[in-house]
């Protein structure tokens, strides 16, 4: 019997870097928001070990794939010697700052746990998730969250009143940005590297109100400093969308996707249409409505 699960992505409404740690990671306060743009994963018992197939030929399907690593970690941790077959239908763009791969890893952990009758506890799944990547634990739940540490300590939150009924317009230039590269470049941007703590508290206060513009003005991502400097086209995308009614814009994670907040889904569709008209069809866009008013 096969089990099929959707694997969503995320944006960061805030990514405040609080300095570089001794282990090479960066200390963060970040606010994740789930985005209902999904890959699909199908799990089935059978065969030997982990066998993975993927709709996107650019993704390796060997042990270097995060889904493969998540499945191997799950089977080892649960002491299961049966094989699993997994198929990944990819829709979320790669190296896009949307956490697609991290989400796939989390969905693999929870999907396999269900397929095998829940041998692992939620805490065990969290521990495996944090080992697979900083963003993976967020995807074990389905709400916005405040994350600290390297991003793996998750405090789930309710959906934000200031974003009710709004839409996110995601725009991607058709090239990816390397996350390790983006973090390394922070060394040249001391203010972005050593952000003042407390930005998360301030933004959460605004997101809890009803003034979308005020909240949008407090969106912040430290990685914009290096990424928009190297890829000025992304800053141009942001200006274009703000000049055409976007309430706010921000780079997603380490990029290359930028998101804009639109008044509603119709305004979002119109913004995406004008964006494609201006910047061409090599770009990728998606409009995602946020939970309603
Ligand atoms: O944790 P994950 O493997 O997803 O992170 C990818 C890379 O991003 C790390 O190798 C590191 O270079 C960078 N990173 C960081 N600080 C974080 C999260 C990620 O420097 N808090």
Regarding the beta carbon of 74 and ligand 1, being less than 6 Å apart is answered no
CA of 184 to the centre of ligand 1 (A): 10
What is the number of the ligand 1 atom nearest to the C-alpha of 134? 1
Distance CA 81, CA 124 (A): 18
Tokens of 135: 């963003």
pLDDT in tens, 152-199: 999 999 999 999 999 999 999 999 999 999 999 999 999 999 999 999
Ligand 1, atom 10: closest residue by C-alpha: 180
CA of 134 to the centre of ligand 1 (A): 6
Ligand 1, atom 7: closest residue by C-alpha: 180
CA of 21 to the centre of ligand 1 (A): 11
Distance CA 207, CA 203 (A): 6
> What's the CATH class of domain 2-156?
alpha beta
Across the chain, what does the average pLDDT equal?
A: 97
- pLDDT band of residue 1 (cuts 50, 70, 90) is confident
On the question of pLDDT at 293 being above 80, the answer is no
Distance CA 215, CA 208 (A): 9
Provide CATH 3.30.70.890 ranges for the chain: 161-289
On the question of pLDDT at 292 being above 80, the answer is no
Q: What is the total residue count of the chain?
A: 293
Give the residue among 140, 151, 152 at the shortest CA–CA distance from 34.
Answer: 140
pLDDT in tens, 23-32: 999 999 999 9
Give me the architecture of the 161-289 domain, per CATH.
Answer: 2-Layer Sandwich (3.30)
Active-site positions read: 10, 135
Provide CATH 3.30.230.10 ranges for the chain: 2-156
Regarding the beta carbon of 183 and ligand 1, being less than 6 Å apart is answered yes
Tokens of 191: 């203010």
pLDDT in tens, 188-238: 999 999 999 999 999 999 999 999 999 999 999 999 999 999 999 999 999
């Amino acid at each position: 019997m096969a089990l099929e699960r959707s694997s969503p992505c995320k944006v960061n409404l805030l990514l405040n870097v609080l300095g570089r740690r001794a282990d090479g990671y960066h200390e963060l306060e970040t606010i994740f928001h789930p985005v209902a743009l999904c890959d699909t994963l199908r799990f089935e018992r059978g065969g030997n070990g982990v066998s993975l197939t993927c709709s996107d030929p650019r993704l390796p399907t060997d042990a270097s794939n995060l889904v493969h690593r998540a499945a191997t970690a799950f089977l080892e941790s649960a002491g299961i010697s049966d094989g699993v077959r997994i198929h990944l239908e990819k829709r979320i763009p790669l190296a896009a700052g949307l956490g697609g791969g991290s989400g796939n890893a989390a969905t693999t952990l929870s999907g396999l746990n269900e397929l095998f009758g829940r041998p692992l506890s939620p805490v065990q799944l969290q521990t495996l998730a944090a080992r697979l990547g900083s963003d993976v634990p967020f995807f074990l739940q389905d709400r916005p969250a405040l994350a600290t540490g390297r991003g793996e300590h998750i405090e789930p939150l309710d959906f934000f009143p200031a974003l009710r009924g709004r839409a996110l317009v995601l725009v991607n230039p058709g090239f990816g940005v390397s996350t390790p590269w983006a973090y390394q470049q922070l060394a040249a941007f001391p203010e972005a590297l050593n952000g003042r703590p407390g930005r998360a508290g301030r933004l959460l206060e605004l997101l809890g109100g009803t003034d979308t513009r005020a909240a949008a003005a407090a969106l912040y991502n430290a990685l914009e400093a290096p990424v928009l400097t190297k890829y000025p086209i992304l800053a141009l995308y942001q200006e274009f969308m703000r000049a055409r009614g976007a309430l706010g814009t921000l780079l997603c994670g380490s990029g290359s996707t930028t998101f804009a907040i639109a008044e509603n889904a119709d305004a979002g569709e119109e913004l995406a249409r004008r964006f494609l008209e201006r910047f061409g069809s090599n770009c990728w866009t998606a409009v995602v409505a946020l939970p309603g008013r």
